[in-house]
Structure 1
Amino acid sequence: MSSGSRSGEFCPRCGDEIERAPEVDLPGGPRDPDAVLCDGCYFESFDLVDAPDRIEIRVCSQCGALHRGNRWVDVGARDYTEVAVEETAERLSVHVDADEVEWGVDPEQVDQNTIRMHCLFGGRVRETPISEEVTVPVYIARQTCDRCGRIAGDYYASIIQVRGTDREPTPEENDRAVEIAESYIADREATGDRNAFITETTRTDDGVDMKISTNQMGQGIAKRIVAELGGSVSEAPTLVTEDGDGNEVYRVTFTARLPPYTPGDVIDLDDDGGPVLVRSAHGNLKGTRLATGERYEASFEEGIDPEARKLGERADGEETTVVTVEDERAVQVLDPETFEAKTIPRPSYMDPDADTVRVFKHRNGLHVLPDPDDDE
């Protein structure tokens, strides 16, 4: 008997004397019936690795999502080899008695939908080095996830309409509204929200329409649009169906109504203060008086839509020559059309040493425009 043996200890399977002390079960713990076997009998039926006969991975052929448990999960993968390795690692189990376990995997791409995972394991059991190789076929089942199915079926719960007040939104406003919507949806997708998507974006003569997956997201996007571009949001619910519990289901149209004036517009308020260059349409309309350079802000009651008439836009301005600065309130410039010298109001933002200025001409006269850098 070796020095590690116990007198009177025999293997219950083969009857040979055990040349090692068997594992002792902890009091109250589960008893391992194989612990009393000799090494020969123990390893005779020992499996280092428990592996499934095959693994099937369900993936969405449209967006690449992976089906795990009872839901689809975005993994952002198009090459599913790494996914197959991860799934294989999760479904293989190593014997609890193994120590110092190491393993490696060699994927073999059989065809577009089949990967053989050649897995080699090594470890120590009862102080004995042991290794085992298993091959697990992984099948890629390409399907359509719930989200892509809804998009393909033109599913949506809300509509966002971007419209102007007494005008059509500019192409830049329409583009920015779409960018805001896409950014909002991307933020929600980044949190794992698979209910976030834009089904369709349509540009019309009146503005832009977007079909959104949920009412909550439609409202959130509409609010973001007016927070940046100005205006207000109105809601119009429409009953479309009832759910399985008899609850009414509504589709809501959110109209983001943009202000009548945009930054860069020149308007006449008919208040003897002269034209105003619009700087902002958030909250209350704000701008700059072209005659004096003073700041203008509409009253709370007027908001973004004071009674006014649009005269043109900053882009309509033309550069002309300064003839002379007469005093702190008047300057003489050349009319850019007739080249006549005309005395016009000198606003506070005008540089008295300037040789040229940009002027805005309308039916009531000429006004000096501020430099774009002077806008707040």
Structure 2
Amino acid sequence: MSRSAFCPRCGEPVEGGDRPELPGAPAAAETGLCDACYFEDFELVSAPEKLTIRVCAQCGAVHRGNRWVDVGAEDYTDVAIDAVAESLGVHLDAAEVAWQVEPEQVDQNTIRMHCLFTGVVRGEAIEEEVVVPVTISRETCTRCGRIAGSYYASVVQLRARERTPTKEEREAAKEISHEIVEEMEATGDRNAFVTEIDDTADGVDVKVSTTNIGKKISQRLVNRFGGSFSDSETLVTEDEDGNEVYRVTYAVRLPPFTKGDVIDPEDGEGPVLVGSARGTVKGRRLATGERYESGFEEGDAPEARRLGRREDAQQTTLVSVEDERAVQVLDPETYESKTIPRPDFLDTESGTVSVLKSRAGLHAVPEDGPE
């Protein structure tokens, strides 16, 4: 049964039941207006007169909502399309709506978005075109601003007890710092960055953007090389809300002995080539090749003299094998024949041997290092 009413604007009759109604849309009689009057004021799409996209000129991040987001875009056309799509509104009476967009690059910072919409309203196919100018506003994001200002929240100080850190330990501190920052960036943390790495006479100082990064670097260094770390806070300022802001210093102290050191525990059993100093000192006796580990109570700093490094060893001639416990070699400095202990790692078939000369005498060292 058809329902009749009159258009309040022109007085023409409005037949609400003479054509199919779209699901969820009001019937013609309910809207009150006839088709002619209805379409006279009808807008398929509502669009802003213009849009501005805030972009970091340094890293390319885009400001969305109340934060900066890394988008990885080489240009900002796709970003502009997304921004326009989010800003457009389509009339609720429209069905089967489709749209296409053609961007026009006006200049480096302006893109004119030509948007064509089609849809069905009151059974009639209509289309509408809107043009939205998009301006790219180049700014500096919070992260890049902090980097430019040399901001840091914590500093990791790499040091070693009774020695200076080795080249390997110094390089590891730098590599680990960048690795952790990359890991945190991969999770979307834009506040993660290394501010500065400074090689000093005593070790390495690494300034980073958050206290969490500083703690992670310290933990990873200790897990790899042994030793321990402590932290201390220093009040530096107050934020805009009056909260106290602290800077944290992480002091990493590596063990006095490190992989490749040759030490003499002075226990009467001869020198040890150190393989690890994590928790306790572990290595091999140069006189026998037997495994060595310092006592739990001694930890990573047993009473011992440092005699040298694995790389200080020199190649010399293996003169003869005296018995199961001794061989004769040429002293690499005097070229005299010397009897030295025969450890189980010594290859008597090779004709040469690596030896280290120290205060404890002449000792063979493994060709393959301390493990």
TM-score higher than 0.5 here?
A: yes
Question: Over residues 106-142 of structure 1, what are the superposed CA-to-partner deviations in whole Å (9 max), with x where a residue is unaligned?
Answer: 2222112111111222333344333222211111111
1:271 match = 267
Structure 1 distance, partners of 2:188, 2:309, is 44
Q: Which moved more, 1:70-79 or 1:224-233?
A: 70-79
**Residues 223 and 7 from structure 1, CA distance in 2 versus in 1: closer, same or farther, beyond 3 angstroms?**
closer
* Shift of residue 349, structure 1, vs aligned partner: 1.9
**Residues 32 and 297 from structure 1, CA distance in 2 versus in 1: closer, same or farther, beyond 3 angstroms?**
farther
Structure 1 distance, partners of 2:120, 2:27, is 21
1:71 match = 67
**Residues 30 and 42 from structure 1, CA distance in 2 versus in 1: closer, same or farther, beyond 3 angstroms?**
closer
Within the alignment, does 1:155 sit opposite 2:118 as a pair?
Answer: no
Within the alignment, does 1:187 sit opposite 2:196 as a pair?
Answer: no
Q: Which moved more, 1:121-130 or 1:343-352?
A: 121-130
**Residues 58 and 244 from structure 1, CA distance in 2 versus in 1: closer, same or farther, beyond 3 angstroms?**
closer
Structure 1 distance, partners of 2:196, 2:367, is 40
Q: What is the correspondence of 1:125-144 to structure 2 with a 5 Å cutoff?
A: 125-144=121-140
Structure 2 distance, partners of 1:32, 1:305, is 91
Structure 2 distance, partners of 1:283, 1:33, is 85
Q: Which moved more, 1:271-280 or 1:202-211?
A: 202-211
Structure 2 distance, partners of 1:174, 1:222, is 13
**Residues 127 and 349 from structure 1, CA distance in 2 versus in 1: closer, same or farther, beyond 3 angstroms?**
farther
Q: Is the 8 A contact 2:14 2:33 kept in 1?
A: no
How much identity, in percent, do the aligned residues show?
61
**Residues 50 and 244 from structure 1, CA distance in 2 versus in 1: closer, same or farther, beyond 3 angstroms?**
closer
Q: Is the 8 A contact 1:109 1:116 kept in 2?
A: yes
2:317 to 297, 317, 321: 321
Structure 2 distance, partners of 1:353, 1:36, is 107
* Shift of residue 278, structure 1, vs aligned partner: 0.9
**Residues 32 and 11 from structure 1, CA distance in 2 versus in 1: closer, same or farther, beyond 3 angstroms?**
closer
2:328 match = 332
**Residues 235 and 368 from structure 1, CA distance in 2 versus in 1: closer, same or farther, beyond 3 angstroms?**
same
Structure 1 distance, partners of 2:188, 2:28, is 43
SS in 2 for 1:332: strand
2:205 match = 209
Paired letter, 1:125: V
1:20 match = 18
1:356 match = 352
Q: What is the TM-score with the length of structure 1 in the denominator? A: 0.88
Q: Is the 8 A contact 2:218 2:250 kept in 1?
A: yes
Q: What is the TM-score with the length of structure 2 in the denominator? A: 0.89
Q: Is the 8 A contact 1:199 1:213 kept in 2?
A: yes
Structure 1 distance, partners of 2:241, 2:80, is 40
CA RMSD of aligned residues (A): 2.7
2:168 to 165, 172, 180: 172
* Unpaired segments ≥5 residues, structure 1: none
SS in 1 for 2:302: coil
Structure 1 distance, partners of 2:347, 2:28, is 94
1:251 match = 247
* Shift of residue 233, structure 1, vs aligned partner: 0.6
* Unpaired segments ≥5 residues, structure 2: none
**Residues 12 and 371 from structure 1, CA distance in 2 versus in 1: closer, same or farther, beyond 3 angstroms?**
farther
* Shift of residue 35, structure 1, vs aligned partner: 4.6
SS in 1 for 2:257: coil
Structure 2 distance, partners of 1:321, 1:33, is 110
Structure 1 distance, partners of 2:123, 2:22, is 16
1:222 match = 218
Question: Over residues 307-359 of structure 1, what are the superposed CA-to-partner deviations in whole Å (9 max), with x where a residue is unaligned?
Answer: 22221111112222333333332222333333333221111222343332222
* Shift of residue 25, structure 1, vs aligned partner: 8.6
SS in 1 for 2:145: helix
* Shift of residue 55, structure 1, vs aligned partner: 0.6
* Shift of residue 33, structure 1, vs aligned partner: 7.7
* Shift of residue 53, structure 1, vs aligned partner: 0.6
**Residues 45 and 7 from structure 1, CA distance in 2 versus in 1: closer, same or farther, beyond 3 angstroms?**
same
Question: Over residues 72-129 of structure 1, what are the superposed CA-to-partner deviations in whole Å (9 max), with x where a residue is unaligned?
Answer: 2222334222211111111112223333333222222211211111122233334433
Question: Over residues 238-272 of structure 1, what are the superposed CA-to-partner deviations in whole Å (9 max), with x where a residue is unaligned?
Answer: 23234566554332211111222221111122221
**Number of aligned pairs?**
369
Within the alignment, does 1:297 sit opposite 2:296 as a pair?
Answer: no
Q: Is the 8 A contact 2:20 2:123 kept in 1?
A: no
